[in-house]
Structure 1
């Protein structure tokens, strides 16, 4: 199921880190500022005292000398040995007798720091006397430069220690909050899982008193939601089975088979013929009388298993139980050659199973077959198959008899391999694009469809896929389609495309390995790519589905189950696998405005699927009445001929053109 993502915003851990960091920075900066301010005041006071004492001492010294030369030597010695900006000796009338001065020694201190510290240049004065008479005055101006330099260096040292303490504290806080908030992180993970529709996650009850009741409530809610979802799926699954499935064989019932047959034969989007066959167990009524009805049901169930296994190996095949011991099988797009071979294999296998239940050599299964031409009415096609069956029953051998088979040219079955190889290797492959719209009519994405040039005509996938499967070329087609689609994604960064992968490709380990490498190499392009696979693959190829889930988690590509509801499997897989969407096929959409069973199924399943965090897409909407019903169901996106036919270019290229 889809993995949800948290809403945009800041994590509690980061908010806590930011708050504590801001608080610590404020405290440390304030402490550093106050400490530096007090130290500045102390330096200013010391400079004032030092300058005053120096002036007094110099005045006393100069009062003891008798000549100006001695006075100059004393002044020079004191000036050179101290931090003074100037020393001046002046006479009684103010004339300068001697003066020494220099610039402030505060190199390397930035101007903003000088302005902030504002250390004054103190001045000291002292009288000079000769005997008892004043002979002049000495004026000493201190130099705050060295003190300012020391203050700046001390400030830088304090900043370094503040940074070290801050980083160490933040590291301890980061490690501590990781441990302290771990229970909250588990709770957040559970909430995201619930948002994504994953009800299996449970959170261990923490020791934190305030969180414990919240965790208990979340676990209880998750368990209740999980049980509710399973009950909903079981109810819908059972109702669907009762409405559409034969309880003995596990195949479709007659009504469902005929509905699916009409959908495949008479679809406007991709109608094509195929082979219709009716199997009948000879003398089944006598077997029932002799062995009993339970034995007859077991025999029919075994025959149903054979048919279902055949369906798994041949995607697109539909089957259903007819009246009594009849089983109907439709092979879409198959020709007489393929149909005859497959039907003979099934006849012999079912006859062997019949003999195992009855007696060796007694059980016989016979088949009447015909080519299903969309130009004929359903009743005519069934009548032709029944005509072949009546001819087969004239004997007692397991045979396939064709009733009114339509002719087929030898070239239809002999040179397909050469034609397909040439089309895939050259320019015989082109892509068409079918837009997918929201119920409000807004484009959501575009489905990528392949067309092959066969004998001068462009053919849709439904027409050539059976031949690709016969010659093991499905993976080659899917590789080419993916490569071309990724090129378009690179050209149009605003587009979202969907590509359907064939079951045969997913069964090919080499293709899966190539797919993983190609998606990884595509980078961010994969976030705008949907990969769809048939619902049958969930049961037939669980390892391949698990591999796709890993690719989706690693690269961001999104996964979609195609042909939802037609795989013959329980819907509980929706709670097991990590997919982002399902696509409901035309089997449920065709004439939905007249089919209460199909409408009930979709109205029940759509909200259940969306509650799991998945998107619901619908395909095959061909008429306005179908579109009106689908619009009322709040699905995520819809496509079909009623909305738009496949186009030769993506919508962005058509708009630019």
Structure 2
């Protein structure tokens, strides 16, 4: 029972006790007063009637005596009058039936008034003429007592209703700070640190509210300090101090993550020898300032072309990872890069299109980090040897289909639900039991199995993400994949679905109709949280309100604040695969531990990804992650 109800019940009981006590006092006092009034009236009537009957009794006038008694008896206040003539013993009796109008019989049956009688002897001098006995009628007492009590009950009832209404309003107002404290505590439990509560005037509640505000501020400061620690460690370990760009270590981790995901794109490696000329002419300070300006301009101009990662991997070498693009878009990116470089070369007083070279390697088919690095470096060396501005790595491998062929195949597969599925278990560290299963899809085209890494880039390029996600979710439901295991199934949402309002509405309707929605998990890429935070909060609210779950994929990949965790409140985060490939050193472990502490501080489960060997898993165990996944426990086909 809530405190409000306890106090409300106490006041209710106390008021009832007061009303009952007042009613009892009123009842007994009224009963006593009416009894005394009837006794007094009976005494007066007996005395006066005895005096008035003397002449008639002396004369033996029976008719006169009867007339006199009838006049008094007809008033209805007496139940019986008995007159006994002492001369001859004759007795006359007048009786009034026990009828009381307007009073319920059960009230009369309570016997609240005892029989009141008065007996007197009528004399004339020393002669006794008759004996008079009068019995009072209780009707008057019952009638007045009933009228008084009914009026009192009506008044008490009205006062009671007014009192409980005022008590409810008053208690609500008085206990509002406690209600605010409960809501604030719930928000803190849900990892939401809002503004401080207003301090109430009530002394007892004032200290409680101040303590809660202090606790909330301390928790907020702890989270902010952890967030700042992550930022400092990123700058220290993954950012080049001169250019402000990611360094070689970050680029290698991103390459591993990129190649393990269903993506397209290209890797460019560039060598800027003209920076050495700037160094020799103006010194290292001007060179460093030039590198900083060049880096800012490249980020400014290239971000508008397509999503990419720009890194400084050596003194005069830069790498450009285009994470999702086709050949035409890569060419546009290259031209923008060359134009930007030439602008900065001219500002530095050097000749454009000289003393720099770029090598380009596109991602085609299954590739390893070694493969694409070798191809990009080969193209760079070719550009340097031939004294050209850029060189594309030539490969004999061709794309499986053209864009229009992909559109036809994918549209047909989405319409007919032709996808085949695998799922990969996510295992708990301690028990090795399955926490959830992440779902992967494949597509059979012309008798050949095509994996997601080949067709997902075209799903994004052709804006088929929302249709694909709808198709996969409906197929999971239709094939009853959620009934096969008790573990939740994780589904990766595309960027298009996250920003698509129509998909939000469809997902809300689907989850409401699903009886196993608590077994569905949705993975949202961290990049989407930074690029479209409003859409992410909207779809996360839909998922959470319908009883399903969601988590952040590629956690820790982006350079930015972790404050978004408080806003969307995911159930779990999946560490970016790059952490599995970083060298085993103190700096990497320190950064990973800080990220994990941020999530753990908000009571979020942490899943390590990209685990392929026991040695990788052992590096994460001291960091106290909750679970892991990777090809150490490979995906299995779903029949």
Range of TM-score over shorter length: 0.7 to 0.9
Aligned: 1:476 with 2:485 = no
Question: Deviation digits for residues 269-321 of structure 1, max 9, x if unmatched?
Answer: xx6675552332464455545675232443245335556666xx55xx76644
| Structure 1 position 190, deviation (Å) | 5.5
Query: What is the root-mean-square deviation in Å for CA atoms of aligned residues?
Result: 5.0
Aligned equivalents of 1:68 and 1:643: distance in 2? Answer: 124
Judging changes above 3 Å, is the alpha-carbon distance between structure 1 residues 282 and 233 closer, same or farther for their aligned structure 2 residues? Answer: closer
Q: Is the 8 A contact 1:606 1:633 kept in 2?
A: yes
Judging changes above 3 Å, is the alpha-carbon distance between structure 1 residues 224 and 155 closer, same or farther for their aligned structure 2 residues? Answer: same
Judging changes above 3 Å, is the alpha-carbon distance between structure 1 residues 129 and 379 closer, same or farther for their aligned structure 2 residues? Answer: closer
Partner of 1:34: 25
Aligned equivalents of 2:215 and 2:385: distance in 1? Answer: 65
Q: Structure 1-normalised TM-score?
A: 0.74
Aligned equivalents of 1:536 and 1:225: distance in 2? Answer: 26
Judging changes above 3 Å, is the alpha-carbon distance between structure 1 residues 477 and 123 closer, same or farther for their aligned structure 2 residues? Answer: same
Partner of 2:119: 126
| Structure 1 position 56, deviation (Å) | 5.9
Partner of 1:242: 236
Q: 1:277 aligns with which of 245, 261, 267?
A: 267
Q: 1:419 aligns with which of 389, 403, 409?
A: 409
Partner of 1:611: 601
Judging changes above 3 Å, is the alpha-carbon distance between structure 1 residues 648 and 524 closer, same or farther for their aligned structure 2 residues? Answer: closer
Aligned: 1:341 with 2:328 = yes
Aligned: 1:23 with 2:14 = yes
Q: 1:303 aligns with which of 287, 293, 298?
A: 298
| Structure 1 position 350, deviation (Å) | 0.3
Aligned: 1:502 with 2:494 = yes
Partner of 1:369: 361
Q: Is the 8 A contact 1:254 1:321 kept in 2?
A: yes
Aligned equivalents of 2:389 and 2:448: distance in 1? Answer: 39
Q: Structure 2-normalised TM-score?
A: 0.76
| Structure 1 position 163, deviation (Å) | 3.4
Stretch moving more, 174-183 or 243-252: 174-183
Q: Is the 8 A contact 2:469 2:493 kept in 1?
A: yes
Stretch moving more, 154-163 or 86-95: 86-95
Aligned equivalents of 1:154 and 1:498: distance in 2? Answer: 74
| Structure 1 position 101, deviation (Å) | 4.6
Q: Is the 8 A contact 2:191 2:602 kept in 1?
A: yes
Q: Is the 8 A contact 2:78 2:134 kept in 1?
A: no
Q: 1:45 aligns with which of 17, 31, 36?
A: 36
Q: 1:537 aligns with which of 507, 521, 528?
A: 528
What runs of 5+ residues in structure 2 fail to find an aligned partner?
Answer: none
Q: Is the 8 A contact 2:253 2:577 kept in 1?
A: yes
Q: Is the 8 A contact 1:79 1:87 kept in 2?
A: yes
| Structure 1 position 468, deviation (Å) | 1.8
Q: Is the 8 A contact 1:370 1:403 kept in 2?
A: no
Aligned equivalents of 2:482 and 2:318: distance in 1? Answer: 49
Aligned equivalents of 2:326 and 2:506: distance in 1? Answer: 32
Partner of 1:585: 575
Partner of 1:655: none
What runs of 5+ residues in structure 1 fail to find an aligned partner?
Answer: 1-8, 650-657
Q: Is the 8 A contact 2:53 2:65 kept in 1?
A: yes
In the comparison of the two structures, how many residue pairs are matched?
A: 620
Q: Is the 8 A contact 1:272 1:373 kept in 2?
A: no
The 3-state SS of whatever aligns with 1:407 is coil
> Within 5 Å, which residues of 2 pair with 1:263-412?
263=257, 265=259, 274=264, 276-281=266-271, 283-284=273-274, 288-289=278-279, 293-294=287-288, 295-304=290-299, 314=307, 320-329=311-320, 339-359=326-346, 362=353, 366-371=358-363, 373-374=365-366, 378-393=369-384, 395=386, 399=390, 401-409=392-400, 411=401
Partner of 1:5: none
Partner of 1:231: 225
Q: Is the 8 A contact 2:231 2:560 kept in 1?
A: no
| Structure 1 position 107, deviation (Å) | 6.1
Aligned equivalents of 1:592 and 1:109: distance in 2? Answer: 93
Partner of 2:141: 147
Q: Is the 8 A contact 2:438 2:491 kept in 1?
A: yes
- Structure with the greater alpha carbon radius of gyration: 2
Q: Is the 8 A contact 1:371 1:405 kept in 2?
A: no
Partner of 1:6: none
Judging changes above 3 Å, is the alpha-carbon distance between structure 1 residues 449 and 416 closer, same or farther for their aligned structure 2 residues? Answer: same
